Structure 1
Amino acid sequence: MTEFGALNWTILIIYIVANLLLGLVIGKRIKTDNDFYIGQKTTPWWAIGISVVATYVSAMTFLGAPAWAYKDGLSVIAIHLNYPLVIMIVIIFFFPFFYNSGVASIYEYQEKRFGKRARALISSIWLVSQTMSSAAVLYATSAVLSFITGVDVIAAIFIVTFIALAYTVLGGITAVIWTDVIQSIILFAGAGIIFYALLNESSFSVMDSLAQLKSEGKLNPLITDWDFNATTTVWSGIIAMTLYHTTVYGTNQMMVQRTLAAKNIGDAKKSYLLMGFAAFFIYLFFIILGVLFYSYYQGKTFDNENLIILEFAAEYGMPGLMGLIAAAVMAASMSSLDSAFNSLSTVTTIDFYKKYFKKGAPEAHYLKASRLFTLFWALLIIFPAIMYHLHSSGSILEVLSKVGSYFVGAQLGMFGLGFFSKQATENGLLVGTAVGFVAVVAVAIGTDVAWPWYCLIGAGFNVIVTIIASRIIDGKQHELSEYTVKGQQLKFAREGLAEKENGWYRIPGKVDRVNYWLFAFFILTLIFLWSIQYMV
């Protein structure tokens, strides 16, 4: 590894200081706890959309996607085919419930639909799963900074935590969104330079590289085998991962919270539609980068595949490039960490502290509490991050996805039952959620079933057991909750409420016209990928 150098340090430090200053400036506008959670509803939809993209792309994609594709080839794209379907489901069914109610914590829906225990349960599940996921992001970033700068990994974990914590505490969700916009620019600039340099340095033409990869079986994006033990088949991507990512985008406070800062439901939907149309190209770019690295290095074995992109950048030797890459990786990471810190604090304050421990306090008190809880979660995440450092191997993107897969079935089952089941009750839901989680753990330990299917398994057990347990414990339900999709539609009709606002549906279950274009885009991506294996 070459010396990091003064120029690289200058670039990295300027980036860090700029983020802190932005948090300081925005923080002066934060007057209430609600400002901290969802801002003042003045943020433009495109900024929220970029923030959504940046948060989920993160350092996991910057490092992990090329590493995963280096190992498994272009088939990794199957895991990311589903975003158009996911975004359609979320904006049709989830957004109307969250936005119309004016909540800051999306888990308040569970209390309205089922009761306090259901809300406490899903909030707790999310707090645990998000802590583990954020710790993986923190570890990945710190490993990169250690590789680039020579700083110890554990020391880097503390440094990255402090930087992301500082501007999040100062500026709340608004600072999170606007720093994400800046961070996404840096991230894609760094990735673009690496891609250009790789093509420029390679002794093979792109077509020669693709032909070699095809001969080695790494250029087939659509593996159609019905093998439930394989991770990257088209079926796991379209069926299993559609459910997985629906949970990520529909039941994850970290992702949904920023859309609640939109001016209206139309802007909230447009911010997610940006991800629906852009995600395929983003992930395809990083996955192609990985398969081109495989060609460039002729399949060389790396001790840590997550560092391939950094090895190449160091070899390339462009002045300031390592500083830009370090800033890009920090940008990718902090776009996820800042969101996690803010949303963990929001859920803790609203769903637990305000509800059970300190009711009726002044807004200034809750704002202070939110900032203290932000500090608490930032410090807590450090410990599992250190554990990842000591025990993790393989693609960090795959590791992160596996961690999340244990929890998403429970979350999806709880919301799915709330939306569509008349017979599900709170008592039955608690039983079903527990059984669903046990089923996932049993499958993970006792079988070779690939992790993308864990969501389907967990949610399936949850739904079936909940319906049975609800009937046994509470008997047949005769009244339809107004917090089901059907109940909301009946309420809108009964009370004469406007179904649309500024041309966008406020009522769940209604399809905005742009969703048809999104579905058509999904079909076109399948056709494009299918054609790749015949183009070379």
Structure 2
Amino acid sequence: MTPVSILLTVLGYVAVLFVVAGFAGRKVTNRGFFTGNRENPWYVAALAMVGAAMSGVTFVSVPGAVAADSFSYMQMVAGFAVGQFVIAFVLIPLFYRLKVVSLYQYLDTRFGLTAHRTGAWFFFISKILGAALRVYVVCVAFQVLVFDPLGISFIINILCMMALVWLYTWRGGVKSVVWTDILHSLCLVSAIVLSIVFILQSLGWSFADAVGTIRESSMSRILFFDDPGSSRYFWKMFFGGVFVLVAMTGLDQDMMQRNLSCRSPRDAKINIVITAFSQSVVILLLLVLGALLYLYADRTGLALPPVGDQVFGVVAVNGGLPLIVGIMFVIGLMSSTYSSAGAALTALTTSFTIDILRGDKRWPDRKLTRVRKGVHLAMALVMALVILLFGRFGNDSVINLVFKVASYTYGPILGMFAFGILTRWQIRDRWLPLVAVMAPILSALLQSIAADKWGYQIGFELIVYNALLTMVGMAFLVVRNPKSREHDIKSKIS
């Protein structure tokens, strides 16, 4: 594909995106922006969640990691499925009962305003870093494929990307995001399936031939029980998947805004159960696609890039496959990027307006609308600035560190919610920010000591240690003689 054809594909997709967003975002109120008016049927939310669970990084990284990690990611996917049931039958009833707009309002109800803002700030830091990193990776890909050949600078690339994300979400918020996510889901699944079909045609294989060849290759292994110290060990990935899913979906304002847009708790539960199944199927297809990409490159003698994340793009765009494969790769990458970036921008706007500014309690609806639009623009500018900083100062080691730091921030959130749900104790929440900061620091120290002293690699289960340390710290803040507030809190959450 030429840079011009790639750019035309992007512009065509963006045009369709804006039509859908404009239709969905008509006459949206603040309630519609923040919660989608809680009127979406379960099947609408379920379709939206398929694309929402996949970022542009996932779209290129999961297939690219097959050569090194085989199908081991399915161990984590099994944990994801269990985590979805925890969300459906523990968190969904709680959030609907409290009628929260932001998830972190639960922490205010349970512990107090300081806890509320602590959870919101940790979400804010995590989401702004994680979302900016995901957009940065995609901007780098498009810089190589489109903007460098056209002589356009990286800054213009970033500003154009964030301007489009801001424009399609500024009016409709969650209501637009849910419906555009359906478009993202359809494009994403179509890109994966059509890429598989055309690779099979180019190799002259049937689907049965492909399954047999993949099974005979070294890339087909799923279960890893042999080395407990390995980051691919089954139980580490499985339990890590459970807790990562609960924290990064169930306690993430971005992801849960879609689930909480359903008409009722029953619809939300149905949506989540179907999402668990759909997510497993889509990730399995991505892994199959990854194996086929490496097999295709091997059979055709195509030189592969040194970084696994670039394999899909190189084979799809420059691998001699039909033009439709490159087009579908670009559409899939764009759809997953806009899905994650648009939803993150909406969630950041909601959380900052409701949790940190407490706008729903301070201002009438008309002023709240003005504030919300200002915050939305400010969040887009902050995200663009963070992406620019990645481009100016970032390298692989720095980016990996930032991504780990972003993932650490979910541990304290998980610990705070777990402490609130599993116990009835009250705490002196003015000290909670210190506990929430120390838990990730101690988790990182534990990870380093475990690797140096015992050769044990702490992988995705690090979030469990992080949450446990948060809960231990909160236990030291327990109020021994709680006041009457405890009775009021119990009545609200029971």
TM-score greater than 0.5 by the shorter chain: yes
1:324 match: 328
2:347 match: 343
Map 1:19-168; keep pairs closer than 5 Å.
19-30=17-28, 32-151=29-148, 152-168=153-169
- Residue deviations 1:193-234 (CA, integer Å, cap 9, x gap): 2112222233784256325523xxx32211014534x32221
Aligned partners of 1:477 and 1:84: how far apart in 2? 38
Whether contact under 8 Å (1:9, 1:323) holds in the other structure is no
2:454 match: none
- Relative distance call for 1:268 and 1:363 in structure 2 (3 A) is same
Instruction: Report deviation, 1:87.
Output: 1.1
AA paired with 2:470? Answer: N
Q: Of the candidates 465, 483, 501, which is equivalent to residue 473 of structure 2?
A: 465
Whether contact under 8 Å (2:34, 2:350) holds in the other structure is yes
AA paired with 1:134? Answer: A
User: TM-score normalized by structure 1?
Assistant: 0.81
Q: Of the candidates 344, 354, 362, which is equivalent to residue 358 of structure 2?
A: 354
Aligned partners of 2:395 and 2:52: how far apart in 1? 22
- Relative distance call for 1:292 and 1:75 in structure 2 (3 A) is same
Whether contact under 8 Å (1:112, 1:483) holds in the other structure is no
- Residue deviations 1:37-91 (CA, integer Å, cap 9, x gap): 1123332221212222211212122111111223221112222221221011112
2:278 match: 278
Instruction: Report deviation, 1:445.
Output: 4.7
Q: Of the candidates 400, 414, 424, which is equivalent to residue 412 of structure 1?
A: 414
Instruction: Find out whether 1:385 has 2:392 as its counterpart.
Output: no
Aligned partners of 2:404 and 2:304: how far apart in 1? 23
- Relative distance call for 1:319 and 1:302 in structure 2 (3 A) is closer
Whether contact under 8 Å (2:174, 2:258) holds in the other structure is yes
Compute the RMSD of aligned alpha carbons: 2.8
Instruction: Report deviation, 1:304.
Output: 3.0
Aligned partners of 1:283 and 1:420: how far apart in 2? 32
Whether contact under 8 Å (2:72, 2:223) holds in the other structure is yes
Comparing 88-97 and 219-228, the one that deviates more? 219-228
AA paired with 1:158? Answer: L
Aligned partners of 2:320 and 2:401: how far apart in 1? 28
1:370 match: 372
Instruction: Report deviation, 1:177.
Output: 0.6
Q: How much identity, in percent, do the aligned residues show?
A: 19
Aligned partners of 2:25 and 2:327: how far apart in 1? 28
Whether contact under 8 Å (2:32, 2:173) holds in the other structure is yes
- Relative distance call for 1:18 and 1:300 in structure 2 (3 A) is closer
AA paired with 1:111? Answer: D
Instruction: Find out whether 1:253 has 2:253 as its counterpart.
Output: yes
AA paired with 1:475? Answer: R
Number of residue pairs matched?
A: 475
Instruction: Report deviation, 1:113.
Output: 0.2
AA paired with 2:47? Answer: I
- Residue deviations 1:161-201 (CA, integer Å, cap 9, x gap): 11111010021111101011011111111121211222223
Whether contact under 8 Å (1:45, 1:268) holds in the other structure is yes
Aligned partners of 2:448 and 2:386: how far apart in 1? 21
Instruction: Report deviation, 1:9.
Output: 4.0
AA paired with 1:178? Answer: W
Secondary structure of the residue aligned to 1:40 is helix
1:289 match: 289
Aligned partners of 2:303 and 2:69: how far apart in 1? 14
Instruction: Report deviation, 1:107.
Output: 0.4
Segments of structure 1 that go 5 or more residues without pairing to the other structure are 492-536
Instruction: Report deviation, 1:24.
Output: 2.6
AA paired with 2:442? Answer: A
AA paired with 1:455? Answer: I
- Relative distance call for 1:74 and 1:392 in structure 2 (3 A) is farther
Aligned partners of 2:331 and 2:211: how far apart in 1? 32
Instruction: Report deviation, 1:269.
Output: 1.5
User: TM-score normalized by structure 2?
Assistant: 0.88
Aligned partners of 1:400 and 1:265: how far apart in 2? 36
Aligned partners of 2:245 and 2:159: how far apart in 1? 30
Comparing 104-113 and 243-252, the one that deviates more? 243-252
2:11 match: 13
Aligned partners of 1:25 and 1:82: how far apart in 2? 37
1:497 match: none
